[in-house]
Chains A and B, each alone.
Chain A
Amino acid sequence: MQRFLDPVVLAEISSLDLIARTVVDGFVAGLHRSPDFGFSQEFAEYRAYSPGDDLRHVDWNVFARTERAYLKRYRGETNSLLTVLLDASNSMNYASGKVSKMDYARFTAACLFYLAIHNQRDAAGLIVFDDEVRNYIRPSTRQGQINRLLHGLELAEPRARTDFAKPLDHFQQFLRRRGLVLILSDFYEAPDKVIRTIEPLRFHGNEVVLFHVLDPKELRPELTGPAILFDLETDFRMEVTPEYASDEYPQRIQKHIAALRDRARSARMDYCLLVTDRPLDAALRQYLTIRQGRN
């Protein structure tokens, strides 16, 4: 089953729906439970009747046998609101192998949507952004929502630069209910600025998870000789020596990751590093963990 979580294998599959189904069906185990008791179909416990209780909930069968009035209580199910913020800036287009960061983010988002809608029955929505909001699909549990979301993912092609400020304004306008916000981005921005921009979401009571999508060569570039690199977003060119790329750069990117993780935790956000040569289960596991924590 691990093979079906391998992003390289998934890249061979053109349908995001199939990808999501393949991954999630192979991964998911069980649904979450709501901590609140409601009146749904699943029995939870009996409680002695007290005056004022609704007589509709009295278990008359028990009363007939024991002549005592008990109320049946059922485990109530809650629905979360899942919103995925997908960074579609040009930097997400980088790929050292077969799978670009954008592809990986799409696969992850598709799997999360599938998991949320089919397995969790959560309302799921999507915001695709770069320096502005490019696409917005309202969170919903309506029929066909999964198809809309997957179509929105397929349309998301990287372009322009990353700017967190504008999409977050939109996000705050559109989302009034609390929920779970997953941000898929490479976060090429100063950690303080990223957290400062995202932090208001947390203030509204949302659970925020930062999925930091990076290519393995971004963590440890391999240069055989001096090379000219150009920035995918700014088109800025710079000559880089292999000594710098192998010595100083890895230290700096690790420092950036550590800073982002620390700042996120201090802001009570979750952080998860996704490297595009690793299986997709890390993101799913992270999502489920957070959902369980919420319940």
Chain B
Amino acid sequence: MGFLAPWFLIGAAAAALPVYLHLLRRHSTTPHPFSSLMFFEQRTQSSIRHRRLRYLLLLSFRLAVLVLLALAFANPYIRRTVASSAERRMLLVIDNSFSMRAGSRLSDAKREAISVLNSRNPAERAQIAALGSELHLLTQPIQDSAALRAAIDSIESGDSRGGFGELARAARSIQETSHAPIELHFFSDMQKSDMPASFAEMALPPHVSLILHSVAKDTQPNWAVESVEAPSQVWDPKKAHVAAVIAGYHTPAAARTASLVVNGKTIDSHKVDVPAGGRATVAFLSLNVPYGWSRCEVRIDSADSLAADDTYFFAVERSDPELVLFVHESADSRSPVYFGSALASAAEASFILDSVPAERVSSTVLSKYAFVVLSDVISLPAQFESDLLRYVRGGGSVLIAAGTSAAHRTRIPVLDDNVIEAHDYARNGERFATVGETDSSHPSMQSSEGWAGVKFYYAVAVDPSSSRVIARLTDQTPLLLDKKIGEGHSLLFASGLDDLTNDFPVQPVFVPFVRQVARYLSGTEEQKGSRRVDSFLELRSTKDEAVSVEVIDPAGRRPLSLKEAASTQSLQLTSAGFYGVRLANGRQDLVGVNVDRRESDLQPMLEDVLALWSGKGSPDSPSQANLGEHQDQERPQSLWWYAMVLVLVAALGESLLAARYLATPAEKS
């Protein structure tokens, strides 16, 4: 038995404290004179002696607490023979990240894993796992070689990005649960880009010995379509542009052919000169896609071992311009002009404003509109208001501008929020109010420059408790509020859209605001044509709606069961390709999913880094060559945990005894 931190044993000297206290307590009892002790019997003294014995027990508990505490800090250990082969566990981890698709890396890794498996002691238990973005355990620790080989054979190449930090984290977790030594064999291309930001995250626990099996001998050149910029919605194909970045990793300068493929047909193609180890951009000036969703790809001619990253997937939806219903008072001719002009000037959006006075809106069918704007409406037909609420709950959106008309009502339609008060800044000394704070994380506020210059002469204060406040005036009056109603959204603008209650419509910030609001309310900002593997796709926004969603992965399979389809909030995109999605709100989406392009850089880790990771870089650590010898040697096993348990027991005993014997006796009358 030894101590890992023997200096802490000095703390055992603290045991002198209770001894001193007990002695002091005993001797500090000054004898008191008394006339005669003839009425004190001998049995009284006997009782005191008995109590002394109990006090000695208390003293021993106190001594034990201090000594054991010092012992625990000194970290005692005993040398114990390392677990035998039967107790030891062999963990074979095969990297199946995207980069393992290059050449024959995955098959090489599997072959080598089987070779290691065959050479092990038959009594030794082994476990198979695959490492992508996370570690997937494929078997339990078993001795059945056939089952283990079958598990290795079942490993397929994936599209995830590997993470060596995740391997270390999983190894720590396994070691903590099993407490048995683990011999970790890792079969990988040791891609440098799979390293975490900090090397410390790759550190393995002490009883895990890492044996690396690298299947990539050198850095291989690789070209890839790194990124594509393309609109997710197209209204005019002639105005749509596609720009792609072609990257070369450790490649010589070469000319590559980039092609734009729509629904399997190549519609455009360009030659691009990619510099050595650099990037080049290729532009396609038109995106002629048919109506509806189209599966678009940018491809380069394959000339390397990793062909899967030569294609970049993205989805584009072509549709007609969408209608926007703009409801206003018949006397209000300003707000339709301002809002319509701003909406028309938005280059990417394509909306047609349908301006309808409030008194003629009752027969309007709302389902054909992308969203609805209520501009300072004093009253709405009850039927329309009911239809509008149903429209919003079903996934539609509405923008409500509460100008001076709010003074005529106590509540905001659709939102059902109460009007607290109306601020008429023009009539008091302030003259106007400006925007004090904005929430730039909201989609409608992504470009919030210029808001400070807008003057608000009139604003309505509503209760913001059930809404998200996006902007506030300087007097903390909520200016823009977002409230989720069912599947839809409603934005409340606490002033008017004319230039009477503010000068917002004539300020430069008005046009981008209208564009962002239109994209947000119409839902087009949610449609991202391409995503990365391992990202999550939101399938529904509320849990209470038990509407099934439908997902079809790139292989044509449905990854969700019926139960999951009715309740799952989001889906992790695990494969590259196109995912067809029918969301809970009924919208049909097509999502192009691409591999994280950091996987395209096939440069392996440096040898010294690998040696450091596997423990061969440190002179104290056992090397792989003599690992077998070390396996049968004795290793220290720490006993501090047991010492702490004993400390707890002694402390409990001390507390009980002290409470029982040292409590102040109650005064008797």
Chain A residues with CB under 8 Å of chain B are: 91-92, 94, 101, 186, 188, 215, 218, 221, 226-234, 236-244, 246-249, 252-253, 256
Contacts and interface: CB of A to CB of B under 8 A. Distances in A.
A230 B32 contact: yes
Given A241-B48, A244-B40, A226 B29 contact: yes
B38 A188 contact: yes
A156 to B, nearest CB: 17
Nearest to B665: A242
What are the nearest 8 A-B pairs in CB distance? A188-B36, A239-B48, A91-B35, A94-B35, A229-B34, A252-B39, A228-B31, A231-B37
Contacts of B30: 228
B44 A186 contact: no
B36 A244 contact: no
Contacts of A253: 39
A107 B45 CA distance: 37
Most buried by B among A94, A101, A229: A229
Contacts of B44: 238-241, 244, 248
Indicate the size class of the contact surface on chain B. 10 to 19
Contact of B40 (A91, A232, A233, A249): A249
B36 A91 contact: yes
8 contacts: A229-B32, A232-B34, A232-B36, A238-B44, A239-B48, A244-B44, A247-B668, A248-B44
Chain B, interface SS category: loop
Interface of B: 29-40, 44-45, 47-48, 51, 665, 668
Contact of B29 (A91, A101, A228, A252): A228
Contact of A239 (B33, B38, B45): B45
A124 B275 CA distance: 139
A87 B609 CA distance: 100
A245 to B, nearest CB: 9
Contacts of B665: 242-243
Nearest to A189: B38
Contacts of A252: 39
Contacts of A233: 35-36
Contacts of A188: 35-36, 38
Given A188-B36, A228-B29, A232-B34, 16 more contacts: A92-B35, A226-B29, A226-B48, A227-B31, A228-B31, A228-B32, A230-B34, A231-B34, A232-B33, A232-B35, A238-B45, A239-B45, A239-B48, A240-B40, A240-B48, A244-B44
B494 to A, nearest CB: 74
Given A218-B35, A239-B45, A229 B40 contact: yes
Contacts of A242: 665
Contacts of B51: 226, 241
Contacts of B34: 94, 218, 221, 229-232
B56 to A, nearest CB: 15
Given A91-B36, A231-B37, A243-B665, A237 B31 contact: yes
B43 to A, nearest CB: 9
Nearest to A187: B36
A234 to B, nearest CB: 8
A238 B36 contact: no
Given A241-B44, A244-B44, A244-B47, A227 B32 contact: yes
Nearest to B36: A188
Contacts of A215: 35
Nearest to A256: B39
A215 B37 CA distance: 14
A238 B43 CA distance: 11
Contacts of B47: 241, 244
Contacts of B668: 246-247
Nearest to B29: A228
Given A237-B31, A242-B665, A243-B665, A229 B37 contact: yes
